[in-house]
Amino acid sequence: MSSSTTFIGAVEIGTSKTTVLVGEHSGRELTIIGRGECASRGVIKGSVVDYKAASDCTHAALEQAEREAGERIDLVFLAQTGAHLEGFYNEAAVNVKAADNMIDADDVRTVCDLARSKELPAGRMVVHNIRRPFRVDGRLVPAMPENLVGQRLEVGYWTVHGQEQRLADNIHVIRGFNLEVRELVLASLASGHMVTTPEERQHGVLAIDFGAGTTDFVLYRDGAAHTTGVVTVGGTHLTNDLSIGLRLTEQQAEKLKLRFGRASVVTKDKAEKVWLDGNFAIGDRQFSQQAIEQITAARTWELLEVVKKKLGNAFAPETCASGVVLTGGTAKLGGLAEAAARVFGVPAHLGEPPLWVSENLRDPGYHTALGLLYYGVSAQAEKSTGTRRRGGFLSGMKRLFANA
């Protein structure tokens, strides 16, 4: 093991389960070497409500992952979701100050600082500042605009912020295992990064992560995240609806949902029945297939409508050429892609991770944890590149002369 190798833990504390993946990052490549899972306790809709219970199950998953990896985790990338997360857009513009109108690093820094400078209400903290592409005199510039010529430089930031206490609770659960949280990543960004390609993000794509307690979404335009959001409705609500509608226990309803639930009604015959267990044992009951589909489809349809409503004007079929990509544990619900296509009016499909992801991690339930690793590593690499740039020899000389 070289000294530059880092063992990164990607932790998703979800409503139904806590997932931990261990990645071995050697600077250039990332290899997944361990996995740990535990049924979640003390977490409701992505927020920790029972510190002890949440800690116990998270630490159990971390221990399992470390045991499987055979290495100790050095740092953690933690997924963040929940109703407390909100976002807003803020933009700024500056006039290029050089006489020859060539944009320099100071112009870029100034406009970025201005665009990020909006103050938050008390008790709120920034989770992400997602930069949208620069514009030079109205012209879209996907990369850094340094050394381009123009008079006006504009940029906008989509800022995701959350409640301080909720964020601290999640971090302290990890710290309780004596691990440092190096990156806090929005769950939608993590899973969206995993199931969409750079080309799709460039053309515009909406990634929706259907979890057990929450549904996270991210809309990409021009290669960058444009809008993110969280709806505190997920797979457990479908189970709950079935439980109430068919008078079942939660376990029975969950079983029916997984076997017969659909996001669109395809069964025409009301008399078509399905067995609860199918083993003809005492207590086994029959239910109308159409009734099950109607209950799950209604809630799914409603959920998709809520997402569309939350996106508002940001979403338009013409700016979302790559359609909708679905992921998350609940995305395995039959007919969900068709329902999403009808609601959003664009093609929809179930998200697939890249081909190099091994078979046992291709389940949609792992997309967020996988994305955490890759998104987190990319973010770290960007930061270190930025640091090296600022600390370069020429920059140092420039600062020396400027101070003189």
Partner 1 sequence: MSQPLVQAPQARSWRDIPQPVKPRAMSREGRWRLWSSLARVLTIVVVVIGVAWGVGLVVAALQENPQNMPAAARTVPVKNFLLKTNAEGVLDAAWLRPALALPKGATLMELDLQQLRARLLADGQVSVVNITRSFPDTLEVRIVERAPVARLHAQFGNGDERTLLVARDGVVFAGTGFEAARLDELPWLAGVKLARTGGQFAPIAGMNFVADLVAHARLETDQLYAMWQVISLARLQSDREIEVRTKPGTVIVFGTDSDFALQLAKLDYQWEMIAKLPTPPSKINLALGREVPVTFDALPAPSAASASGPVAVPAKPASAPLFSLFPNSQPKTKREL
Distance of closest approach, residue 4 Cβ to partner 1, in angstroms: 18
Distance of closest approach, residue 172 Cβ to partner 1, in angstroms: 5
Distance of closest approach, residue 14 Cβ to partner 1, in angstroms: 19
Distance of closest approach, residue 139 Cβ to partner 1, in angstroms: 23
How far apart (Å, rounded) are the C-alpha atoms in residues 67 and 339? Answer: 41
How far apart (Å, rounded) are the C-alpha atoms in residues 361 and 365? Answer: 8
Q: What radius of gyration, in Å, describes the C-alpha atoms of the chain?
A: 23
Return the number of the residue (61 or 256) whose C-beta is nearest partner 1.
Answer: 61
Distance of closest approach, residue 188 Cβ to partner 1, in angstroms: 16
Between strands 17-25 and 152-163, the pairing is unpaired
Return the number of the residue (316 or 397) whose C-beta is nearest partner 1.
Answer: 397
How far apart (Å, rounded) are the C-alpha atoms in residues 105 and 144? Answer: 9
Task: Give DSSP secondary structure letters for 272-304.
Answer: -EEESSSS--TT--EEEHHHHHHHHHHHHHHHH
Distance of closest approach, residue 125 Cβ to partner 1, in angstroms: 5
User: Could you tell me which residues are beta bridge partners of residue 274?
Assistant: 287
Distance of closest approach, residue 61 Cβ to partner 1, in angstroms: 11
Return the number of the residue (88 or 278) whose C-beta is nearest partner 1.
Answer: 88
Return the number of the residue (287 or 375) whose C-beta is nearest partner 1.
Answer: 375
- What does the binding site for partner 1 look like in residue numbers (CB under 8 A)? 51, 55-56, 59, 62-63, 72, 94, 97, 106, 109-110, 113-114, 116-120, 124-127, 159, 161-162, 164, 167-168, 171-172, 175-181, 184, 398-399, 402
Collapse the DSSP code of 248 into the 3-class scheme (helix H, G, I; strand E, B; otherwise coil) and give the result.
Answer: coil
Between strands 180-186 and 75-80, the pairing is parallel
Return the number of the residue (123 or 142) whose C-beta is nearest partner 1.
Answer: 123
Return the number of the residue (184 or 206) whose C-beta is nearest partner 1.
Answer: 184
H or E element in which residue 91 lies: strand 86-95
Distance of closest approach, residue 111 Cβ to partner 1, in angstroms: 9
Which amino acid is present at 76?
V
Which amino acid is present at 374?
Y
Question: Which token pair is 63?
Answer: 């221990």
How far apart (Å, rounded) are the C-alpha atoms in residues 355 and 371? Answer: 14
Return the number of the residue (84 or 299) whose C-beta is nearest partner 1.
Answer: 84
Please check whether residue 25 is in contact with residue 5, taking contact to mean a CB–CB distance below 8 angstroms.
Answer: yes
Please check whether residue 333 is in contact with residue 296, taking contact to mean a CB–CB distance below 8 angstroms.
Answer: yes
Return the number of the residue (355 or 404) whose C-beta is nearest partner 1.
Answer: 404
In the block, residue with structure tokens 């609770």: 169
Nearest 5°: the CA angle 218, 223, 228 is 15
Collapse the DSSP code of 28 into the 3-class scheme (helix H, G, I; strand E, B; otherwise coil) and give the result.
Answer: coil
How far apart (Å, rounded) are the C-alpha atoms in residues 118 and 115? Answer: 7
Distance of closest approach, residue 175 Cβ to partner 1, in angstroms: 5
Return the number of the residue (168 or 266) whose C-beta is nearest partner 1.
Answer: 168
Which amino acid is present at 394?
L
